[in-house]
Amino acid sequence: MRKIVLCVALLAFGGLNADVKIGTVNFNKSIEGSKQVAVLKHQMETKFKKRRDAIQADRTSIQKSIQDLHRNESVLSKSAIADKKAAIQKRVAKLEKQESTYQKDLLAFRSAQFEKIVKAFKSSVSTIAKKDGLNVVINDSAVVYSQSAVEDITNSVAQSLK
């Protein structure tokens, strides 16, 4: 909240002080082609592919078992049908637990790696802002109107993250 108030105050009074230089940056465009994002995608693919494929294979196997049960239901005894349904329900419960654990692990990994990307982004913004003599850098979507020139450093930040 303090940052928002500071930005609003600097924007409002920026015209009174010619020394205030404001910059903008677009986070998504800045990190879009960064090596950190490419590494994250690769790590996620290699680390989670086996589990994702195993879950998909289990899901397909369960669906096949359900289809087989429906196809053979007319020739099976009631106890055999009940046993097969119970076995399928057990497999479904196990699969749901695996999917839940997979999603939690994937989210935790993604969050941890995303923190690193944000840290690199902030460091890059800080370095470029100091080099360009900017006093404040805000997200470009926060600027609705500016009477004075606002410098967009998105391309510079994107270049530094490659």
pLDDT along the chain (162 residues), means of 10: 53 57 85 86 92 96 95 90 94 97 95 90 90 85 72 79 80
Give the model's pLDDT for residue 3: 56
- The strand pair at 151-152 and 22-25 is best described as parallel
Residue pair 11/136 in contact by the 8 Å Cβ criterion: no
Give the model's pLDDT for residue 88: 94
| The model's pTM | 0.67
Give the model's pLDDT for residue 63: 97
Helix (H) or strand (E) holding 72: helix 35-72
CATH code matching the domain that covers 2-161, chosen among 3.30.70.2860, 3.30.910.20, 3.40.1080.10, 3.40.50.510: 3.30.910.20
- In terms of Cα–Cα distance, which of 19, 12, 2, 20 is closest to 137? 20
- The strand pair at 151-152 and 136-139 is best described as unpaired
Contacts of 40 (CB under 8 A, 6+ apart): 110, 113, 114, 117
Give the model's pLDDT for residue 139: 82
Q: How many angstroms separate the most distant Cα atoms in the chain?
A: 88
Give the model's pLDDT for residue 154: 79
Give the model's pLDDT for residue 160: 81
Helix (H) or strand (E) holding 138: strand 136-139
